[in-house]
C-alpha cells in the first residue's frame, strides 16, 4: 500500500494525482537534479532554525497521506491550549525516527525546488519538506552536512506481532495521569501497535471500539458541520497534523480525499481494521481521540479536537458514534 499512496502528488497544488519515487533506490536512480545523502538529525535541526517563504510538507504511511503548505511550521505535537489563531500545521520528529535523508534539487513545481526527503528503516519515503527556490532556502540547505555513509535498510514485515511491553505497561498504569502529548507519543513508538493491543484491555470509558465503517460518515458529518478538527498522521517516530478548514471531501470504495486550506489528506478506508474512541484527562479536561488502525494493528490516522473551547462539542459528536458489538 505504501507504493500506491506515495504515488499521490506531494505538493497537492491541484487535485491531480502524480507519480513520484517511493523507495530510496528508486529516488536516487530517478532524480533529474542533484541528490545527495545527508545526516537526518543535523538536517532537521537546520530546517527548524530556518525561515522559508513557502514550505510544502508531506508525510505518508502504508495507508494514508497528509500534505500541507504553509509559511511556517510548528515543530511539536498539537496543543489544545494554543490560541485559536496559531499555526494550523505541526510536525513532531523523534530522534532516530528517520533512517536516511536525501537533499534533492529536483523541480517539484514552478517555484518549489529544494527538498529534504526522509526515508523509513524499510527504505520507503515517509516524509518530505520542500521549499521555494530563493536565496534564504539556498543558504539554509547549504548548511546541511553531506553524508558519505550509505544507509542500511531492513524489512520490518515480520514485526507486526511484536509489541513493546514497556509501552504497554506504561499505558495501562498511567492512562489518566498524562495528557495529550503523552498519548500521541505512544503512537510513534511502533506506529501504535503496542497501544492498539492495550486498548482491548481497558474499560470502555477509556477505550470504546467503534464500528470501523463509521470513519467515512464521521468525516462527512464534520465537513458538513464546518467543524474544525485535527487530522494526525503517524509514521514510526514522526507525527504530522493539519487543523486547517476542510474545503471539500470526496470518497470512493477505497479512498477518502480531504481537501483543506493547507493541502489534503488521503485515507485508504478499505484497509481499516478497527476504530476506537479513546478518552483521557488533559490538564483537567476530558479529551477524546478517534484512532484508526489497519488490519495489522498499525495506526493509520488519529482524529483530534482542535482547541479547548471546542472540546464539549467534539466529545458529544464522538460519543454519539455506534459501538462495535
150 located within any domain: no
Same domain, 137 and 216: no
Same domain, 61 and 198: no
CB neighbour class for 48 (10 Å; exposed up to 12, middle 13-18, buried from 19): exposed
Total Cβ atoms within 10 A of residue 59: 27
pLDDT value, residue 232: 94
Same domain, 164 and 77: no
CATH value at residue 22: 3.40.1570
67 located within any domain: yes
Between the two ends of the chain, the Cα-to-Cα distance in Å is 29
155 located within any domain: no
Decide if 7 contacts 20 (C-beta within 8 A). yes
Decide if 80 contacts 88 (C-beta within 8 A). no
- H helical segments located in the chain: 2-6, 24-30, 40-48, 135-142, 165-174, 180-189, 193-199, 215-225, 311-319
52 located within any domain: yes
| Domain limits for position 106 | 2-142
Domain count along the chain: 2
pLDDT value, residue 73: 67
Same domain, 98 and 195: no
What DSSP character marks residue 273?
A: E
Same domain, 167 and 287: yes
17 located within any domain: yes
pLDDT value, residue 172: 85
pLDDT value, residue 122: 84
What string of DSSP letters covers 136-152?
A: HHHHHHHTSPB--PPP-
pLDDT value, residue 62: 86
Same domain, 308 and 203: yes
168 located within any domain: yes
Alpha carbon distances (Å) from 284 to 1, 178, 179, 245 = 40, 10, 9, 27
The model carries a pTM of: 0.87
Same domain, 123 and 185: no
151 located within any domain: no
196 contact partners, CB below 8 Å, separation of at least 6:
274, 276, 291, 293, 297, 298, 299
| Local confidence pLDDT in tens for the 325 residues of the chain | 333 333 333 333 323 223 344 788 888 888 877 889 999 999 999 988 887 777 888 999 888 999 988 655 677 777 776 655 555 788 888 888 899 999 988 766 667 778 899 998 888 899 999 888 778 888 888 899 999 888 888 766 545 566 677 778 888 888 988 889 899 999 988 889 989 999 999 999 999 999 999 999 999 999 999 999 999 999 988 999 999 899 999 998 889 999 998 889 999 988 899 999 999 999 889 999 999 999 889 999 999 999 888 899 999 999 999 999 8
Same domain, 124 and 237: no
CATH value at residue 284: 3.40.1570.10
Identify the residue whose cell numbers are 506506529: 191
pLDDT value, residue 231: 95
Domain boundary among 142, 176, 205: 142
Same domain, 95 and 241: no
Same domain, 197 and 228: yes
147 located within any domain: no
Amino acid at each position: 500500500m505504501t507504493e500506491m499512496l506515495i504515488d499521490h502528488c506531494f505538493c497537492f497544488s491541484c487535485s491531480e494525482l502524480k507519480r513520484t519515487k517511493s523507495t530510496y533506490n528508486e529516488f536516487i536512480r530517478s532524480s533529474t537534479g542533484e541528490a545527495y545523502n545527508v545526516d537526518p538529525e543535523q538536517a532537521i535541526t537546520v530546517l527548524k532554525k530556518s525561515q522559508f517563504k513557502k514550505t510544502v510538507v508531506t508525510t505518508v504511511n502504508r495507508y494514508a497521506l497528509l500534505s500541507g503548505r504553509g509559511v511556517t511550521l510548528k515543530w511539536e505535537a498539537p496543543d489544545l491550549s494554543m490560541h485559536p489563531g496559531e499555526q494550523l500545521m505541526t510536525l513532531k520528529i523523534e530522534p532516530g525516527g528517520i533512517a536516511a535523508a536525501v537533499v534533492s534539487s529536483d523541480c517539484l513545481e514552478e517555484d518549489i525546488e529544494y527538498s529534504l526527503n526522509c526515508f523509513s528503516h524499510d527504505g520507503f519515503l515517509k516524509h518530505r519538506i520542500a521549499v521555494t527556490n530563493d536565496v534564504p532556502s539556498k543558504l539554509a540547505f547549504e548548511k546541511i552536512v553531506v553524508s558519505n555513509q550509505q544507509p542500511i535498510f531492513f524489512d520490518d514485515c515480520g514485526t507486526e506481532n511484536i509489541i513493546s511491553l514497556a509501552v504497554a505497561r506504561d499505558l495501562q498504569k498511567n492512562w489518566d495521569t498524562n495528557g495529550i502529548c503523552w498519548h500521541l507519543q505512544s503512537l510513534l513508538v511502533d506506529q501504535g501497535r503496542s497501544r492498539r493491543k492495550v486498548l482491548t484491555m481497558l474499560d470502555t470509558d477509556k477505550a470504546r471500539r467503534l464500528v470501523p465503517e463509521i470513519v467515512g460518515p464521521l468525516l462527512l458529518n464534520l465537513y458538513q458541520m464546518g467543524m474544525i478538527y485535527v487530522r494526525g498522521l503517524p509514521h514510526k517516530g514522526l507525527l504530522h497534523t493539519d487543523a486547517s478548514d476542510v474545503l471539500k471531501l470526496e470518497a470512493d470504495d477505497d479512498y477518502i480525499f480531504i481537501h483543506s486550506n493547507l493541502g489534503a489528506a488521503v485515507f485508504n478506508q478499505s484497509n481499516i481494521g478497527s476504530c476506537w474512541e479513546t478518552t483521557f484527562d488533559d490538564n483537567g479536561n476530558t479529551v477524546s481521540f478517534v484512532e484508526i488502525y489497519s488490519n495489522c494493528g498499525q495506526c493509520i490516522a488519529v482524529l483530534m479536537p482542535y482547541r479547548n473551547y471546542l472540546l464539549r462539542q467534539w466529545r458529544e459528536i464522538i460519543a454519539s458514534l455506534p459501538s462495535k458489538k
